Amino acid sequence: MTGAFDDDPTDNSVRSKGLLGGRLPAVFQEATVVVKAPVGTTLESIPAPRPPAGEGVLSPEEEDTLNACKAGMDNLHKAFWIAGKSLETMATGNLHRNEGHANFAEFVWVNWEISESQVYRLRDEWRIGEALSQLGWHPRESQVRKLVDIKNAAGDRAAVAVYDAVARTGKRVTASLLADVTRRLPPLTPDSSPAEISQLVRGVLSPPSTLEPAATEPAAAAAGVHAPSGVVNSSEGLVHNITTIGGTSDSPIGESDAQASDSNGPPAQSDDLQRLNETLALLRQAARGLSKPAVRRALEADAAATNLVLAEIENSLNKIGRAVAVRRQD
């Protein structure tokens, strides 16, 4: 039986267009909601977290707020974000002060058997859950938990955009899939746009072939010029979409001048050029699989072994840098 914090393999609910197809969720806007009835079945029925109105007996408004939050907690199995907001509102307002418990953690455990660590997670994740629900998705808490590194590094918006981009690929969203995607994504920042994040996610889930030559513009094709892997066409010609190791903007494979072919078509690649293309493909794959959060987690788990691996990576990159630097000497 699927629990409140697990993936639901039977979830086939209808989904909306997602983040890029509609408005941004209201969770990212400042708002204050006044509860008129302790419904607890929608996020709007849970008051915003606020400091206590005073000490001692709860005011009538605080009583209504506490009852709404309790009802919201009873709704945990349907939408974890409602429970998360309920927890934050109760804890922030110290609304449990007349419930006869030593602390908030005990109050929650006695009433709903939720551990203190789960309480912190729910309070930290409810805004992401709300945003995704407004986009038409139905995330599980265990799924949103895998976005914590993205949230910490780039904020709630980026975490929402990652989930949304994965969901819109048509794949069934699971905690393990989200963990794999976040591990392979390059570092994100608060300035990363949903469109940029969506493109990065698509690259992780369906990476383009790096050994096939990219399509060239008609004029370049007529001249026999072919774009190497890692280069795309634009109105200004061939544009690199990666940073070259050698330090120039000529070509990611080290060929600064394109050679025209004869009437029989472009010449076959030499063994050396093929080797460079294969190296480029491996480097791009490695770049997708490496991120600062992954390195930090590895260092926390085993600093000694991780430092040895990092030293080997740096040594290999230095060797590659010296090899491609030959262009600067010619």
- For 26-69, how does the pLDDT look when each residue is reduced to its tens digit (9 = 90+)? 444 443 434 343 356 678 888 889 999 888 899 999 998 898 88
Structure token pair of residue 42: 């929608």
Q: Rounded mean pLDDT of the chain?
A: 73
Per-residue model confidence (pLDDT) at position 26:
45
- Residue 72 banded pLDDT, cuts 50, 70, 90: confident
Work out the average pLDDT over 66-87: 82
Three-state DSSP state, 24: coil
Contact predicate 108/119, CB 8 Å: yes
Give the range among 143-147, 288-292, 320-324 with minimum mean pLDDT: 288-292
From residue 126, alpha-carbon distances to 49, 111, 119, 245, 269 in Å are 12, 20, 11, 42, 54
Give the range among 163-177, 275-289, 300-314 with minimum mean pLDDT: 275-289
Angle of the 80-93 helix axis to the 60-74 helix axis, nearest 10:
150
Phi, psi of 262 (to 5 degrees): -85, -175
Is pLDDT of 154 > 80? yes
From residue 145, alpha-carbon distances to 24, 109, 139, 320 in Å are 21, 21, 10, 38
Work out the average pLDDT over 305-314: 85
Give the range among 141-155, 206-220, 299-313 with minimum mean pLDDT: 206-220
Looking at per-residue pLDDT, the higher value among 106 and 271 belongs to 106
Per-residue model confidence (pLDDT) at position 242:
29
- Residue 307 banded pLDDT, cuts 50, 70, 90: confident
Work out the average pLDDT over 296-301: 83
Kindly report the CA angle at 214 between 213 and 219, in degrees rounded to 5?
A: 110
Work out the average pLDDT over 182-190: 92
Work out the average pLDDT over 64-87: 83
Contact predicate 227/208, CB 8 Å: no
Count of positions (residues) in the chain: 330
Per-residue model confidence (pLDDT) at position 215:
43
pTM of the model: 0.48
Give the range among 60-74, 151-165, 198-212 with minimum mean pLDDT: 198-212
Q: DSSP for 212-274, please give it.
A: SPBP--HHHHHTT--BPTTEEEETTEEEESS--SSS-SS-TTS--SPPPPBTTBSPPPPHHHH
From residue 116, alpha-carbon distances to 73, 87, 182 in Å are 14, 11, 26
Looking at per-residue pLDDT, the higher value among 242 and 76 belongs to 76
Q: Could you give the CA distance from residue 201 to residue 19 in angstroms, rounded to a whole number?
A: 14
| Sequence-distant (≥ 6) Cβ neighbours of residue 165 within 8 angstroms | 18, 19, 194, 197, 198, 200, 201, 202
Residue whose token pair is 């989200």: 178
Structure token pair of residue 244: 């070259």
Q: DSSP for 91-154, please give it.
A: HHHTTTTTSS-SSHHHHHHHHH---HHHHHHHHHHHHHHHHHHHTT----HHHHHTTHHHHHHH
Q: Could you give the CA distance from residue 21 to residue 17 in angstroms, rounded to a whole number?
A: 5
